[in-house]
A and B are shown apart, each in its own frame.
Chain A
């Protein structure tokens, strides 16, 4: 064993706060965009899926609706759902990409911090969301004469809540991926597939079977989509619905933040990194 040795003359960072360097975030964003843009799946999810969704739900609204309201509700609903969808996919696939390419240890052995890495996933998610929502908005305008802002000012708080919810799901999937590796992939899209019918994206919860209505009302998303529906139909901002959604979403965001932090601690403590090399 070594005896005590003279200490180094460099800065001691024992009590220094964790660093956050936006250059490292930008480097990871660039890495994600470069590698993902060379993958056909990326373009399908980013452009083709929103195009198909916009056309599909717009056409259903035209076929079965009376007046303009149904098509506006359906196109706005799918546009808003893509806010959650794209952010969740980008967040969870950001880590899964590193797992699939066994690059995690390479990144851990750099100054990149966990917060910087997660932030880069979030930035990529916001970029994907912007493109995807623009595509659906354009489909609505061009093919169905539906303005993407038909719901009015309620869209602003609704979009913010949906993004926060999508990011919370992404953090949850990241936490599971740290433990289970690529077996957690199913949660990235499976969670949203489950939420879509239950959260009244396209219809009021009263349309659901009675046994599921209580479940639906417990999901914050349901209240966001309720508020949007009221905005489209009555031109009002349903603050009560938004408040319920805000409280629920904040609770879920807090829980998923705790979960990912807990999983990161276990990742280091239990040596999970060895599963990825």
Chain B
């Protein structure tokens, strides 16, 4: 089994400095800097086109920034991407799992890629932790959307990552299952000092799960801080009303 990260003080798990990314004439991300310390729970939010996905994909090393640097657990991308990703778990509610494999085989595959010493045992453990051990022998193609999301989450945490990156983590889950995932995330955060970085369109989930919100507008950070402070500084009652106001503003600009 992979060694869990050592709970430490305020060490930096992720530092992105002055990221910029253009696609043709469109600036998708503009001068974004984020530093995340161990144990933090951070949400990146903003309406469609705000640059959330591009930022997340740059942090995963899938897209190269035009400008800026990214360090994850001390490993600078892109050269240190492999070492960095060994400490990161990623799951997206919209991503299917590799076809042709059972749930256990899928988890074993990712366990091996992450260097887990006994992936078979760890696969059974993580399925039990999420109360989905009954799915072990099922083909991933036969899973419901919610079950697939849960297995995707199991895949992301099989190696006890220091940083868990989640894109729309509970989008297709029933409320009770979503609550189970949130409980699990909070457990990993409190027990293992795992750092959470998530994007979601569900502002209630973001408010519930995170202790810090990075709000993006047209590729730039317009607010960064605890959710209540971010909301108050922009004159809104809650995160959802701030999100809706930003989305309306984008729609008006498009018109």
Contact = CB atoms under 8 A, between A and B. Distances in A.
Contacts of A269: 63-64
Contacts of A111: 82-83, 85-86, 113-115
Contacts, number: 160
B82 A18 contact: yes
B122 interface: no
A34 B101 contact: yes
Size class of the contact patch on chain B: 35 or more
Given A101-B98, A109-B88, A270 B11 contact: no
B54 interface: yes
A12 B74 contact: yes
Interface stretch (A25-33, A150-158, A161-169, A229-237): A25-33
A110 B12 contact: no
Interface in A1-60: 1-2, 5-16, 18-19, 21, 23-24, 26-28, 30-31, 34-36, 38-39
B165 interface: yes
Contact of A109 (B23, B60, B71): B60
B15 A5 contact: yes
Interface of A is mostly: loop
B23 A27 contact: no
Interface string B111-126: 0111100000000000
A108 B165 CA distance: 13
Contacts of B165: 109
B85 A8 contact: no
Interface of B: 8, 10-13, 15, 21, 23, 31, 33-35, 37, 53-54, 57, 60-64, 71, 73-76, 78-86, 88, 90, 92, 94-101, 105, 109-110, 112-115, 152, 155, 165, 221, 224
24 contacts: A1-B224, A2-B35, A8-B12, A8-B13, A10-B74, A10-B75, A11-B74, A18-B79, A18-B82, A23-B115, A30-B109, A30-B112, A31-B98, A34-B100, A102-B95, A102-B96, A105-B57, A105-B95, A106-B90, A108-B62, A111-B82, A111-B86, A269-B63, A277-B95
Given A16-B79, A110-B113, A273-B62, 9 more contacts: A1-B33, A2-B15, A13-B75, A16-B83, A21-B115, A34-B105, A108-B62, A109-B165, A111-B85
